[in-house]
Amino acid sequence: MQFSLAGAAAMVAASVSSLRLGELFHLSWWDYHGYLLAGFVGAVVGIAVSSRRNRAVIDTIADAFDDSPIVHIESGYPEALRALVSAVEAKDPYTHGHSRRTAELAARLGSRMRLGTDDLRALTRGAYLHDVGKIGIDEAILNKPGVLDPRERRDVERHPVLGAEMVRSAPSLAETIDVIRHHHERWDGHGYPDGLVAREIPLLARITAVADVWDALTSDRSYRPGWDPADALAHIVAGASTHFDPALVDLLVEFAYTDLGVRAPSARGDVTVAVTAVENCHEIGAT
């Protein structure tokens, strides 16, 4: 039994060490979790047969499952790109944590859609890096407490293209390019940078768009406090079939109710909250 426990602990500890050394994605997703599961099962069997409790083994198993999914994702990023995300958020203190929260919500929505593991990884990484191009945007514009003028808006609207070009040189991040470039496209074709329409917009970018706007609306910004979640949901519901993929809006409505206890308005478009910012990307966060 001691050999069973020791083997299980070694397997789980090895997977944890791999994660913390940034080597997680050198294994496939299924291999990685297979090793964790094998270690876990081995430990349970050993403990069930033997009455001895090995505290080190239990602690090792617990440690393997302590980290949130976003920590697993972030560990695979080059340090330089993680630093870039931090630099972007440092330019605008009101967006601190926005990239992480957007990635977490995108991952939750993707899981509800039963996306495959490769797509979930690409979605989460892309959503985490979606605003990385803002490193090239003037800080004064990002923090402007009011409506952007046409020149400023054009400058802000460069950030998806800038971000996509930044990660293009890293082959390991090729899966994130579509999300970064297209998270500001609109279902009706009036988005940017390419004016894609409906299903021309990559699915992972459509998911990120919903998560991005939700977090932008519910977070404090330099020019306004965060919206009440019910008002934010009403805004997004009102944008179904114009700004957002209507199927993904329905998915967000389901998530908001089951996970947050927030109810959607009774019908799309039946919105009483003043949403003068509907067409102004800066006023809903310029994210």
**Spans of all domains in the chain:** 2-67, 72-260
State residue 27 phi and psi, 5-degree precision.
Answer: -100, 155
Q: Residue 170 above 90 pLDDT?
A: no
Give the residue-averaged pLDDT of 107-121: 92
pLDDT at res. 81: 66
| Helix (H/G/I), strand (E/B), else coil: 209 | helix
Which residue from 77, 80, 171 is spatially nearest to 128, judged by alpha carbons?
77
Whole-prediction pTM? 0.69
Q: For the chain, what is the mean pLDDT?
A: 74
CA distances from 180 to 20, 153, 192 (A): 26, 18, 12
State pLDDT tens for residues 40-89: 444 444 544 443 433 433 343 333 334 455 565 556 566 666 777 777 77
- Please, where are the H alpha helices in 65-142? 69-74, 79-91, 98-112, 117-128, 139-142
- Residue 185 has φ and ψ, to the nearest 5°, of -70, 155
The percent of residues above 70 in pLDDT, for the chain, comes to: 62
Architecture of the domain whose range is 72-260:
Orthogonal Bundle (1.10)
pLDDT of residue 178: 97
Phi-psi region of 107 (alpha: psi -120 to 50; beta: other; left: phi over 0): alpha
**pLDDT higher than 80, residue 175:** yes
pLDDT for res 139: 84
> What per-residue confidence (pLDDT) applies to 93?
63
pLDDT in tens, 89-99: 777 665 668 88
Let me know: does 249 contact 237? Beta carbons within 8 Å.
yes
261 vs 169, higher pLDDT: 261
Each residue's pLDDT tens digit, 181-209: 999 999 999 999 999 999 999 999 999 99
User: What pLDDT is attached to residue 72?
Assistant: 56
